[in-house]
Amino acid sequence: MASRPSADFRERLVAACDAGLAPGEAARLFGVDVSTVYRWRRRARRGESLAEKPRAGRPPKLVPERYADLRAVVLAQPDATLPEHAARLEAATGIRLSPSHVSRLLRRLGLPLKKRVSSPANGTS
């Protein structure tokens, strides 16, 4: 499966097994590994939620609620380089991001990554 299965999908699989479908057959029918079937059934038997569990990892430095700050920094000086955007964002918010992180966020927000060319290319060369 390309995406993480919804709680509804997991509940339907568990219900199919409870109705008599063999775990191996359920795995093939629903397109998951048989170990996943056993894990979901075990969680259901224990009364645990079948919803996706929170993922581990560091919380983001710049949360989506603060994307407007980055957008304002970039739109105030669109010709700045990525390191300049990072420095201005830090000055404005106190949040330090690497230029590569700023680049990823700009792409996510659909903002331009490159400086504009200050002068047109010479047509005689």
Question: Is 35 exposed, middle or buried, given 0-12, 13-18 or 19+ CB atoms closer than 10 A?
Answer: exposed
Instruction: Tell me: do 71 and 40 sit in the same domain.
Output: no
Question: Alpha-carbon distance 67 to 95, whole Å?
Answer: 12
The answer to the question of residue 121 being in a domain is no
Please compute the mean of the pLDDT values over residues 28-41 and round it to a whole number.
96
Q: What are φ and ψ of residue 37, in 5° steps?
A: -60, -50
The answer to the question of residue 118 being in a domain is no
Averaged confidence pLDDT in the chain: 89
The answer to the question of residue 23 being in a domain is yes
The answer to the question of residue 40 being in a domain is yes
Instruction: Tell me: do 99 and 68 sit in the same domain.
Output: yes
**Residue 1 pLDDT level (bands cut at 50, 70, 90):** very low
Domain that residue 14 falls in: 7-45
> The whole model's pTM is what?
0.53
Number of domains within the chain: 2
Instruction: Tell me: do 74 and 40 sit in the same domain.
Output: no
